């Protein structure tokens, strides 16, 4: 279990009772273990959202007679319309024993998850709550696992950067914008100068460490809106949305100098290297394919290497007339 899942599992569950009579509310608070649950009272429907904002909510006990609403169904509809609350279990507590038609209609509508009579014992209500909260925990665990799988599918295992698959997808999206709008976009492709020598002379483990540390360094030294990806081998790409040639060149040259001055190893086993960078910026509407853009970047990277390495070679791309 990852840290987020662990924290969710260990946190107290938040239960809010809406419009519940004080005597019943106190009995529920006693019955529900305070070590596992925090129970808050919302005297009316109007008070509910501020409570949720302050504390969150995992389950709602809803009394069917509220002081500020003639029809509690309205509140259920509003809760189900909220993306953050649509899966929160709602258990209706009926003041009087309702006809089965009412219970079935509300349950079949999907607006509520349970329907009990106010004379039902607090122990039975707590048992209902436990069932729905266990189901909610399983749903959250499944959601976390699905999120993790989705993240793994677009993450490079060695560097922790986005992988080539995600890179191609993002490039496609950026080029689609460039086909439709006057939009500034820049991107770079770079690799480690003489990377093969690191692997051959100092071992592949150190070569992998060089890539890992470089990737971490790049992530720390780019903006939150920029997208860093491993293209392949020791080649890394960074996408700079809403960035023109001049601004990007300044940022990238600063990054190159920082990398040149950084020890990516340890004090007793230093690991210094430089990088060569190819830069392409586009500041006008273009009809360019992903392969076409990659070829332009590759040409600029080759130019940087062929003219001495440890430098930036860039162009402001203009489509041929």
> How many structural domains are present in the chain?
2
Residue 130 lies in a domain: yes
Residue 202 lies in a domain: yes
Phi, psi of 241 (to 5 degrees): -65, 150
Residue 94 lies in a domain: yes
Q: Which of 48, 46, 50, 77 is nearest to 60 (CA)?
A: 48
pLDDT at 265: 83
- Is residue 208 located within the same domain as residue 311? yes
Q: Could you tell me the CATH number of the domain that includes residue 45?
A: 3.40.50.2300
Q: Could you tell me the CATH number of the domain that includes residue 178?
A: 3.30.70.270
- Is residue 37 located within the same domain as residue 178? no
pLDDT at 10: 45
- Is residue 31 located within the same domain as residue 116? yes
pLDDT at 134: 79
- Is residue 189 located within the same domain as residue 118? no
- Is residue 120 located within the same domain as residue 33? yes
- Domain containing 270: what range? 164-317
- Is residue 54 located within the same domain as residue 168? no
Q: In what order do the strands lie in the sheet with 312-317?
A: 227-232, 235-241, 185-192, 275-282, 312-317
- Is residue 136 located within the same domain as residue 187? no
b or e along 121-137 (b: 16 or more beta carbons within 10 Å of the residue's beta carbon)?
ebeebbebbbebbeebe
pLDDT at 98: 61
Task: Check residue 51 and give left, alpha or beta (phi > 0: left; psi -120 to 50: alpha).
Answer: alpha
- Is residue 176 located within the same domain as residue 279? yes
- Is residue 50 located within the same domain as residue 173? no
pTM: 0.60
Residue 48 lies in a domain: yes
pLDDT at 295: 95
pLDDT at 36: 82
How does pLDDT run along the chain (321 residues), one tens digit per residue? 343 343 344 478 899 999 999 999 999 888 888 888 899 999 999 999 999 999 999 999 999 889 888 889 899 999 999 988 988 999 999 887 766 777 888 888 888 888 888 888 888 888 888 888 877 777 777 777 776 777 777 889 899 999 999 999 999 999 998 888 878 999 999 999 999 999 888 888 888 989 999 999 999 999 988 999 999 899 999 999 999 999 999 999 999 999 999 999 888 888 999 999 999 999 988 889 999 999 999 999 999 999 999 999 999 998 865
- Is residue 116 located within the same domain as residue 211? no
- Is residue 132 located within the same domain as residue 172? no
- Is residue 73 located within the same domain as residue 29? yes
Last residue of a domain, one of 100, 128, 153: 153
């Amino acid at each position: 279990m990852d840290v987020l899942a662990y924290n969710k599992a260990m946190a107290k569950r938040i239960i809010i009772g809406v419009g519940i009579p004080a005597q019943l509310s106190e009995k529920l608070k006693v019955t529900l273990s305070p070590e596992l649950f925090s129970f808050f009272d919302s005297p009316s429907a109007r008070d509910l959202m501020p409570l949720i904002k302050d504390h969150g909510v995992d389950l709602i006990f809803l009394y069917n007679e509220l002081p500020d609403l003639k029809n509690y169904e309205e509140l259920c509809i509003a809760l189900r319309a909220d993306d953050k609350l649509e899966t929160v279990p709602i258990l209706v507590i009926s003041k009087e024993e309702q006809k089965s038609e009412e219970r079935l209609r509300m349950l079949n509508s999907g607006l509520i998850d349970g329907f009990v009579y106010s004379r039902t014992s607090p122990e039975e209500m707590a048992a209902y709550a436990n069932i729905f909260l266990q189901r909610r925990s399983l749903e959250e665990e499944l959601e976390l696992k699905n999120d993790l799988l989705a993240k793994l599918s677009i993450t490079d295992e060695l560097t922790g950067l986005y992988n080539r698959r995600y890179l191609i997808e993002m490039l496609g999206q950026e080029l689609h914008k460039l086909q439709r709008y006057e939009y500034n976009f820049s991107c770079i492709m770079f690799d480690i100068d003489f990377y093969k020598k690191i692997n051959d002379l100092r071992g592949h483990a150190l070569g992998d460490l060089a890539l890992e540390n470089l990737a971490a360094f790049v992530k720390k030294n780019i903006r939150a809106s920029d997208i860093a990806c491993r293209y392949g081998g020791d080649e890394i790409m960074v996408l700079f949305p809403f960035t023109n040639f001049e601004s990007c060149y300044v940022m990238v040259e600063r990054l190159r100098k920082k990398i040149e001055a950084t020890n990516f190893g340890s004090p007793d086993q230093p690991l210094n290297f430089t990088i060569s960078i190819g830069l392409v910026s586009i500041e006008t509407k273009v009809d360019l394919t992903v392969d076409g853009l990659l070829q332009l970047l590759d040409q600029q990277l080759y130019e940087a290497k062929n003219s001495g390495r440890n430098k930036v070679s860039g162009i402001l791309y203009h489509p041929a007339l």
